[in-house]
Chains A and B, each alone.
Chain A
Amino acid sequence: MSVLPVAPPAASAEDPGPLGTLATAARRVATMCLVELQRLRHDRSELVTRAVQPALWLLVFGQVFTRIHAIPTGDTPYLDFLAPGILAQSALFIAIFYGIQIIWERDAGVLSKLLVTPTPRMALVTAKAFAAGVRAVAQAVVVLLLALVLGVALSPNPLHWLGVVVALLLGSAFFCCLSITIAGLVLSRDRLMGIGQAITMPLFFASNALYPVELMPGWLQVINHVNPLSYEVEALRGLLIGTPARLWLDFAVLVLAAAAMITIASSLLPRLVRG
C-alpha cells in the first residue's frame, strides 16, 4: 500500500490569528470557486438551458420593444439598454436559488462535513457566495455573446469588462446570501422554492433592468433606490454601453450589501445545520 499522510504534529493545531483567519477565508473562497468551475466543466448543459430565458428576453422582448419605441431610452437603442439588465437578471436567477442547494447540502450531510473542516462559518458563506458569482460570470459570457450577435454595441475596454465581472460577483454574492438567509429562516426546500419565486420577479421589475428610473411611478422609484439589483444594473450599463453611471456609489452599495448579507447568512448557518 502507498504511504498514507502522517497525522499533523501538535503545533498545527494552534489557532491562527486574525491575519491567518483572513488568509484562510481567501483560500476557502478560491477553493469553492474552483469546485464551481469543476462542476461546470463536468456539466456544461446547464449553461445552455439557463441561457434560454435571457435569450428570449433579448430576442423577443428586446427586439420587439426596440421596434415599437415604447420605452424611451434617449440615444441608446432599447436592445442595448436592455442587455445589461438581462445580464443582471440572469445572475440574480442563478444566485437566488443557492439557498436550495444549501438545504440539499444539509440534507445530504455535505454541510455538516464542510463545517467539520477548519473553516470559519463566515468564510464558508463567503466562499459559497462567490462560487455563485463564478457561475453567474460563466453564464454572463453566454448572454454577452448573444448580445454581440444581436448587434449590441459593447465597450471594448478590458477594464470595463473587469468591472463587469466584479459587479456580477458582488451582486450574485448578495442574492446568494439573501437566499441562504431565507433558507436559514424557513429551513425547507419547498418553502424556499416558493419564496424564491415570489421575490425574484418583484426584485427584477422593481429595478431599472427593463426601463429607466424616470419612467417609474414614485413608489416604485423608492423601492428601486433600496434594491441592490438597480445598482448592479446601473454599473453594468455604465461599463458595457457607456450610459451615465455613479460607479463609486454603485460599487460601494454592492460591497456593503454583500458584506451585510454575508454576515446575516453566516449567523443563520448554525440554525440551518440544527434544523
Chain B
Amino acid sequence: MTAIGAGPPADVPAVRCTGLRQAFGDTVAVDGIDLEVRPGEVFGLLGPNGAGKTTTIRMITTLLPAPPGAIEVFGIDVARRRSAVRRLLGYVPQQLSADGTLSGRENVALFARLFDVPRRDRDAQVDAVLTAVDLLDVADRQVKTYSGGMVRRLELAQALVSAPRVLVLDEPTVGLDPVARDGVWDRITDIRLATGMTVLVTTHAMQEADAQCDRIALMHRGRVQALGTPADLRGALGPDATLDDVFRHHTGDTLADRSGGLRDVRAARRTAGRLG
C-alpha cells in the first residue's frame, strides 16, 4: 500500500458542521449541530434511533439539502459545490446495496467508472481494492453467492475504488455476526492506516464504538449531547463507567416515542434478513 498523497492543510477539518439544522414538517431531526471531524480520525456518531445521525450523514453526503456554509468537507461548501464534495466521499449505506446479479469485480468497476477513474488505471485500482478487502479470489463470482460479511467488504471496495478522502459508513456492521464484524473493521483499520483516510461512522454498537473510534459525538433528539474520546466520555462518568453507561446517561435510559420510523425498522430488518 502507498500512503496518501499531498493532503490538505492540517488545520482544515475533514468535515465541519456549523449550526446544522434539518426539519421535516414539524419534526426537527437535526437541531443546531456544531462539530468538526479531524483528518485521519475515525469519528463515530452515536445515538438511539431517531437521534438525527442518519439525517446528519445524509446532509453531509449531499443526499439532503444543506444551507450554504453549514457543512464543509475539506473546506468545500457542500451546498455550493456538491459534485466536488462527492468526489471526496466514499459512502456505504446501511442496507446491503451491492448488485447481486453482477460479479464482485463488475460491482466495483461500476463505481470506478462513476467516479471517472481513468481507463488505464481502472483494472489495477479495482484489483487493488478487491485485494484490500480479501475478495480478489472470488471477484468473478456473482455477488448473490457471497455471505453477508463478504457483501459488506465488497461495498467497502466500491466506496474505496475512487480513493476518497472521507469514508462515510452508516451502520456498517448491523446484522453481521461477530466474526464478520471483526473482518469488516480489520479491513477498515488496515486501509486507514495505509492511506490516512478519515472515517465517519454511525453505529448503535457501543463496544464497537469504544474499540474503533478515536472520537465520538453522542446524539439525542437532534443535538450533540457529548463529544470526546471514548476514554474521556467514560472518565467523565466515573472510573468504572462503560460507554453503555454514557449512552444511558445522555439519552435518559428511556424508550423514546419517536425512536426510529417504520421505514428505519423495516430497512434494518431487511438488511438483517438478507444477511441471514
Q: Is the CB of B88 within 8 A of A13?
A: yes
User: Taking the complex as formed, is B185 at the interface, i.e. its CB lies under 8 A from any CB of chain A?
Assistant: no
Interface centre among A38, A113, A273 (most CB of B within 10 A): A113
Stretch at the interface among A74-82, A117-125, A231-239: A117-125
Task: State the Cβ distance, A229 to closest chain B Cβ, in Å.
Answer: 29
Q: Is the CB of A117 within 8 A of B86?
A: yes
Q: How far is the CA of A39 from the CA of B143 in the complex (A)?
A: 12
A-B contact count (CB 8 A): 142
The answer, among B65, B114, B168, B197, for a CB contact under 8 Å with A117, is B114
Q: Is the CB of B129 within 8 A of A5?
A: yes
Q: How far is the CA of A3 from the CA of B102 in the complex (A)?
A: 25
Task: State the Cβ distance, B67 to closest chain A Cβ, in Å.
Answer: 16
Q: How far is the CA of A24 from the CA of B106 in the complex (A)?
A: 20
Q: How far is the CA of A38 from the CA of B270 in the complex (A)?
A: 26
Task: State the Cβ distance, B196 to closest chain A Cβ, in Å.
Answer: 8
Size bracket, chain B contacts:
35 or more
Residues of B within 8 A of A112 (CB): 58, 61, 63, 91, 93, 97
Q: Is the CB of B101 within 8 A of A43?
A: yes
The answer, among A5, A15, A274, for a CB contact under 8 Å with B83, is A15
Q: Is the CB of A7 within 8 A of B63?
A: no
Q: Is the CB of B106 within 8 A of A107?
A: no
Residues of B within 8 A of A9 (CB): 5-6
Stretch at the interface among B156-164, B214-222, B249-257: B156-164
With A24-B116, A116-B62 known as contacts, the answer to whether A3 contacts B106 (CB < 8 A) is no
Q: Is the CB of A109 within 8 A of B114?
A: no
With A4-B194, A274-B64 known as contacts, the answer to whether A118 contacts B115 (CB < 8 A) is yes
With A35-B102, A116-B89 known as contacts, the answer to whether A2 contacts B84 (CB < 8 A) is no
* Chain A contact residue count (CB 8 A cutoff): 41
Please give me the residue from chain B that is nearest to A274 by CB atom.
B64
Encoded as 1 (CB less than 8 Å from any A CB) or 0, chain B from 61 to 77 comes to: 11111000000001010
User: Taking the complex as formed, is B258 at the interface, i.e. its CB lies under 8 A from any CB of chain A?
Assistant: no
Q: Is the CB of A2 within 8 A of B127?
A: yes
Q: How far is the CA of A108 from the CA of B88 in the complex (A)?
A: 23
With A7-B5, A38-B102, A117-B86 known as contacts, the answer to whether A2 contacts B132 (CB < 8 A) is yes
Please give me the residue from chain A that is nearest to B110 by CB atom.
A35
User: Taking the complex as formed, is B165 at the interface, i.e. its CB lies under 8 A from any CB of chain A?
Assistant: yes
User: Taking the complex as formed, is A190 at the interface, i.e. its CB lies under 8 A from any CB of chain B?
Assistant: no
User: Taking the complex as formed, is B1 at the interface, i.e. its CB lies under 8 A from any CB of chain A?
Assistant: yes
Please give me the residue from chain A that is nearest to B126 by CB atom.
A5
Residues of B within 8 A of A3 (CB): 1-2, 124, 128
Q: How far is the CA of A62 from the CA of B161 in the complex (A)?
A: 52
Q: How far is the CA of A273 from the CA of B1 in the complex (A)?
A: 36
User: Taking the complex as formed, is B232 at the interface, i.e. its CB lies under 8 A from any CB of chain A?
Assistant: no
Q: Is the CB of B267 within 8 A of A107?
A: yes
With A2-B128, A12-B87 known as contacts, the answer to whether A28 contacts B114 (CB < 8 A) is yes
Q: How far is the CA of A10 from the CA of B32 in the complex (A)?
A: 29
User: Taking the complex as formed, is B8 at the interface, i.e. its CB lies under 8 A from any CB of chain A?
Assistant: yes
Q: Is the CB of B102 within 8 A of A42?
A: yes
Residues of B within 8 A of A7 (CB): 4-5, 7, 163-165, 195, 197
Q: Is the CB of A4 within 8 A of B195?
A: yes
Residues of B within 8 A of A119 (CB): 114
Q: How far is the CA of A35 from the CA of B2 in the complex (A)?
A: 31
With A4-B160, A7-B165 known as contacts, the answer to whether A117 contacts B195 (CB < 8 A) is no
Encoded as 1 (CB less than 8 Å from any A CB) or 0, chain B from 157 to 180 comes to: 010111111001000000000000
User: Taking the complex as formed, is A244 at the interface, i.e. its CB lies under 8 A from any CB of chain B?
Assistant: no
The answer, among B86, B92, B99, B131, for a CB contact under 8 Å with A2, is B131
9 other A-B residue contacts (CB within 8 Å) besides A5-B125, A16-B83, A109-B267: A1-B132, A2-B132, A3-B128, A5-B128, A6-B163, A13-B87, A35-B102, A38-B102, A118-B114
Residue contacts A-B, CB under 8 angstroms, 28 given: A1-B131, A2-B1, A2-B127, A2-B131, A3-B2, A4-B129, A5-B161, A6-B5, A6-B195, A7-B5, A7-B195, A8-B88, A31-B110, A35-B106, A38-B102, A43-B101, A108-B97, A108-B270, A109-B93, A109-B95, A112-B63, A113-B93, A116-B61, A116-B89, A118-B87, A118-B116, A119-B114, A273-B63
Tell me the B residues contacting A by CB distance below 8 Å: 1-2, 4-8, 58, 61-65, 74, 76, 81, 83-89, 91-97, 99, 101-103, 106, 110-111, 113-117, 121, 124-125, 127-129, 131-132, 142, 158, 160-165, 168, 190-191, 194-195, 197, 267, 270
Which A-B residue pairs are the 4 nearest by beta carbons? A109-B93, A109-B95, A5-B163, A109-B97
